[in-house]
Amino acid sequence: MVANGMPILLRKLLGERFGWPVDGGRRFPDGRPWFGPSKTWRGVVCGIGAAAVAAPLLGLPWEVGALVGAASLAGDLLSSFLKRRLGIGPSGMALGLDQVPESLLPLLAVRERFGLEWRYMVWFVIVFIVLELALSVILYRLRIRNRPY
């Protein structure tokens, strides 16, 4: 949540400054953007950095935080790519598709290191979906998010 929340916070604080799109504005052969304008290098770099900084606060090495942050943001990029292919616009809601990759990929990245069982990972993804949806509504009411999802 730290890795994926940091880009939202930075967009609110910095607007479009340093917000270079990851896809460089290029389009996939279907004519749609690869990811869209809301997926920026600023968000990727700062999201990974924030996760690396947060990890020691949770008793984990910073490297684990960076890995989890990178995997989470990779999941977010995968979701965006798939949503563009499905014709869902930037910041459009796709329940499950928005949450599962960004919560599952980090678990897969550290699965062996922490001996995570599949049933734990399934429960974690379900809890992540619920928390992410609740947090999105809170951030919307605080005017940090532009949409309540």
pTM for this entry: 0.90
Cα–Cα dist 41/24, whole Å:
10
State the pLDDT at residue 84: 96
C-beta of residue 21 within 8 angstroms of C-beta of residue 36 = yes
111 belongs to a structural domain: yes
Instruction: Indicate the number of domains in the chain.
Output: 1
41 vs 15: CA distance, rounded Å: 14
In a domain, 148, yes or no: no
Indicate whether 59 belongs to any domain: yes
Tell me the pLDDT of the chain (149 aa) as tens digits: 899 989 989 988 998 899 999 999 999 999 999 999 999 999 999 999 999 999 999 999 999 999 999 999 999 999 999 999 999 987 788 999 999 999 999 999 999 999 999 999 999 999 999 999 999 899 889 988 888 87
Residue 114's domain spans which residues?
A: 2-141
Q: Which bin fits 60, alpha (ψ -120 to 50), beta or left (φ > 0)? A: beta
